[in-house]
Structure 1
Amino acid sequence: MIEKNIIKSVIYGFIGGLYIGFLLFSQDEMVYLGDHYENEHLSIASYLIKIIRFSIIISLTAAVITTIFILYKKYISSNNQM
């Protein structure tokens, strides 16, 4: 049961991270070149890797938060039974 909830949080975190990544990140980046900034267009592969990296971080964070929450609930319920 615990593993099922953690797997769900990883999957939902990854999908949510993809959605958020597409909304937050642009395919254009501002690059500082000494005395001025220049707009650089990322390739599709670089853009997707950037979004997938963000999504993996979100999914792992969701897994850690879910694990802490489950362990906390288990700790609270074991203390209430004493």
Structure 2
Amino acid sequence: MIKRRSFLKKAVWSATALSATSLIAYGFNSLDNAREKGLFNLKLSLAQWSLHRQFFDGYLDPNDFASIAINTYGINAV
């Protein structure tokens, strides 16, 4: 009977080998095309809940969340 650890190790190695093979065969060209088309221009957003401890403790004012996100973290999508 195969042990769980041995099975997981073999499964991870197999998945890595399969994905690496497909990336080598097809992926690099498609990654370059995606980069040229601007598909990697991702924008981050910040949820107000991310700072809930500071808000509840009184260190920050929830009404200033937008300015905190822009000025402190450089994130302008809230």
Whether the TM-score (by the shorter chain) exceeds 0.5 is: no
Greater relative CO (CA pairs within 8 A, separation 6+): 1
- Pick the structure with more strand per residue: 1
TM-score by length of 2: 0.35
Higher CA-based Rg: 2
Query: Structure 1 length normalisation: TM-score?
Result: 0.33
